[in-house]
Structure 1
């Protein structure tokens, strides 16, 4: 009688341990998902900001192209035409100023793009590690389930053998 209650207590304890182990694994998986989601949310802000910067850059670049075209189209270049050197000089200075402004804008964008690139690379690396960890977790859970099934089978077999031995002993 004591063996039976001891065995059932042991079985209940084993089930509780397995349940706790499973819950811990699930909790770890959820924590990793929360980390991944928080990283992705942080990156989304940068991507949205980059879209705004890209739009501003495109508008600025279009304006610069139009200004340069307008400056160069005003210059007479055929048929011995003459031009006012002061106007040509101002047009060239204006074009150079626009080019300098574009250069500054491009340098500013390049640093932001470089930062974004490193963050995206880090995110990709982290995502790959997370996927690897999730695959490993899945494999471990499969192995745990298989082991648990074997353990239950062996316990049942032992219990059956114990019942047979008890029956043989009482028969003698």
Structure 2
């Protein structure tokens, strides 16, 4: 009778231990599944942050470029006048230099030279307002180019930082998996003893 009771207690204890192991295994699987989902969500959040940052930078670039489009349109209108002024000045200076004596004991009429230089100055005068109107625009384009260079430099550093963080995240994830497997082995060893 006592042996029978002893066998029943051992059977009940073995059954309770099996149920406890099954519950522990299910809990560990559930915990591991949750950890995988959390890791997936973290990766998704990181990807979304990178995407949002990329979109923000694209919008910044588009706003900078859109601000410069009217100036480019105005340049198309003024390019013909600018080109004709430069052509006129070039030809006037070329003609004036051909008329100047270069060698020998030649004398030049100072009135003609004065007249040629005055005509060159008169040709350059219409060009001066064109150049002055473009100076602020050139300064703005220079400022925008400097800002764009800063954005590119900061983007490069952020990309490098992102690469480092991704490497660290992968390293941490591998370490987490290793620690989990060691924890499971320790639990199994404790249960076995």
Q: TM-score, normalised by structure 1?
A: 0.73
How is 1:34-53 mapped onto 2 (pairs within 5 angstroms)?
34-41=55-62, 46=68, 49=72, 52=76
How far does residue 54 in structure 1 lie from its aligned partner after superposition?
Answer: 9.1
CA deviations on 1:27-48 (whole Å, 9 max, x unpaired) are 2222222333344455556489
Asked if 1:117 is matched to 2:142, the reply is yes
**Is 54-63 or 138-147 further displaced after alignment?**
54-63
Over alpha carbons, which structure has the higher Rg?
2
Structure-2 residue corresponding to 1:167:
192
How far does residue 68 in structure 1 lie from its aligned partner after superposition?
Answer: 5.0
Aligned residues: 163
CA deviations on 1:111-146 (whole Å, 9 max, x unpaired) are 211110000000111111111111111111111110
Structure 2 residue runs without a partner (length 5+) = 1-21
Structure-2 residue corresponding to 1:4:
25
Structure-1 residue corresponding to 2:10:
none
Asked if 1:96 is matched to 2:117, the reply is no
Asked if 1:28 is matched to 2:53, the reply is no
Asked if 1:62 is matched to 2:112, the reply is no
Higher RCO (C-alpha 8 Å, min separation 6): 1
Cα separation, partners in 2 of 1:43 and 1:153, compared to 1, 3 Å: same
Structure 1 residue runs without a partner (length 5+) = none
Cα separation, partners in 2 of 1:73 and 1:120, compared to 1, 3 Å: closer
**Is 13-22 or 148-157 further displaced after alignment?**
13-22
The CA distance in 2 between the partners of 1:8 and 1:80, in whole Å, is 104
How is 1:74-93 mapped onto 2 (pairs within 5 angstroms)?
none
Structure-1 residue corresponding to 2:6:
none
Cα separation, partners in 2 of 1:125 and 1:73, compared to 1, 3 Å: closer
The CA distance in 1 between the partners of 2:110 and 2:32, in whole Å, is 104
